[in-house]
Amino acid sequence: MNGLHAPLGFSGSDQPSAEIFNRCIRCGLCLPTCPTYLETMTETSGPRGRISLVKAVAEGRLDLLADGFVAQMSECLDCRACETACPSGVAYGQLVETARTQIRRAQEPAESPGARRLRRLLLHTLFARLDLMRFAAAVLRLAQRTGLASLAGVLGLGDAAKLAPEIPARFFTAKGQRYDAFDAQGVAFLHVGCVMHVAFPQVHAATVRMLERARLSVVVPADQGCCGAIAVHAGDLDFGRALAKRNIEAFEKSGADVYVANAAGCGAALKEYTRYFAGDPEWGARAQRFSERVRDITEVLDAMELDPHIGRIDATVTYQEPCHLVHAQRVSGAPRRLLEKIPGLRLIEMSESAICCGSAGIYNLTEPEMAGRLRERKAANVRASGANIVATANPGCAMQVAAGLRATESQTEVKHVVELLDDAYRAYSAAVRRA
């Protein structure tokens, strides 16, 4: 900005709403919950400062593409801890996501062909085509097993290679499977997602078995796809809408009663499809009907009567709250109640369980320095808790926490809540077989 031109403001559709940013009374109660504020102790790196920046752009006092504004919209994790803390009900996530959409649209004409290709490869190709996601995962597995990390680097997966868990030989692909529960009380649609189905297929297998134990049959329709969260967090709301339509149609065709997600980030996006289609006369109503049926797996299991024949897990477990479960979906008690049902398991609380671990979609790629600081902070809190297992409910958190613990040579395992429950039931079955 040289002062000769009027600042570039928000324009067109998907603008941050004045109704939202004007609700901020600048009380600062959100500041101690914001991971980037805790790390930097800088006003502009916190929610209150970022809201002021959004307001300044909306009022024409700051350029949309000013370096400081673009940097702050990128540094924010969209973890939404500030929403949980806010007494005025500022829907902060909507502000940052629409601000990013505005920035991306304004930057697009000047984007280099290389940057555009990388963005399209990451967002439009890998997340729209899950067969390509499986191909990329297979390449990563090859690199992990042969030490050819450079091969992953060629595909732009160098950082992913460092953070990724060991990629298994078999994925859990949506192929139209159906699993019939004994004395079924309903039908659950299982969302397989993009990362979970290649990196943690065992979590899907455990989810199916747990739903069956809760007397829900399970369908896994092949026409579902990525939830769109990563695209929306990256400011590509239009692409997020295209992905949302595919899942809404797949659920409508399936005839299932409930749409179940076991990845907190996916569940939060799926529950917010109504917002993606605000003002759309056709898709608005369909999205609302869809989102009303979405549940996290821990909500479903917590609400159902489970088989009382459960085995022991003798372990000390701490629970890492995924931001998009605790802050976006406001689900916090259900995972803990489920863990407490496991005989032998001692649940302890770590410090800062609800502070983001730095995973946040593709944040490791876009903000590697802050992602690394938050990963170390989380690993230190886990170690200080003394737990030998960390339970969580989101693949991004699982990868990030495990990478943080690996870096400190910790032996602490990371597991999804549903894996621990399934382990306990399988321990009971194994004991019965031995007896």
Footprint of ligand SF4 (CB under 6 A) = 24-30, 33-36, 47-48, 50-51, 76-82, 85-86, 88, 90, 92
Strands 177-179 and 216-220: what pairing?
antiparallel
Which residue blocks in 316-416 are alpha helix, DSSP H? 323-326, 333-340, 363-366, 368-385, 395-407
Of residues 100 and 213, the one with the C-beta less far from ligand SF4: 100
Which tokens go with 87?
């007494």
- In angstroms, the CA 325 to CA 359 distance is 14
Torsion (CA) 199, 369, 268, 282 in degrees, nearest 10: -100
Paired strand residues for 242: none
CB 304 within 8 A of CB 311: no
**Shortest Å, Cβ 355 to ligand SF4:** 9
The number of C-alpha atoms within 13 Å of 310 and in the hemisphere containing its C-beta is 23
**Shortest Å, Cβ 372 to ligand SF4:** 15
Tell me, rounded to whole angstroms, the distance of Cα 231 from its chain centroid.
12
**Shortest Å, Cβ 208 to ligand SF4:** 33
- In angstroms, the CA 113 to CA 119 distance is 10
Q: Of 108, 146, 392, 153, which is closest to residue 264 (Cα–Cα)?
A: 392
First to last CA, the chain: 77
Residue with tokens 């959100």: 30
- In angstroms, the CA 161 to CA 149 distance is 7
**Shortest Å, Cβ 233 to ligand SF4:** 10
**Shortest Å, Cβ 83 to ligand SF4:** 7
Of residues 343 and 368, the one with the C-beta less far from ligand SF4: 368
- In angstroms, the CA 175 to CA 20 distance is 42
CB 308 within 8 A of CB 422: no
**Shortest Å, Cβ 352 to ligand SF4:** 13
Of residues 366 and 410, the one with the C-beta less far from ligand SF4: 366
For residue 115, the tally of other CB atoms under 10 A from its CB is: 12
- In angstroms, the CA 195 to CA 192 distance is 8
**Shortest Å, Cβ 39 to ligand SF4:** 10
CB 137 within 8 A of CB 198: yes
**Shortest Å, Cβ 239 to ligand SF4:** 21
Of residues 32 and 344, the one with the C-beta less far from ligand SF4: 32
**Shortest Å, Cβ 231 to ligand SF4:** 18
DSSP string, 374-397: HHHHHHHHHHHHT-SEEEES-HHH
**Shortest Å, Cβ 78 to ligand SF4:** 5
Which tokens go with 269?
């996006």
CB 187 within 8 A of CB 217: yes
**Shortest Å, Cβ 55 to ligand SF4:** 11
Strands 294-296 and 216-220: what pairing?
unpaired
- Reduce the DSSP state of residue 195 to 3 states and report it: coil
Helix %, strand %, coil % for the chain, to 5?
55, 10, 35
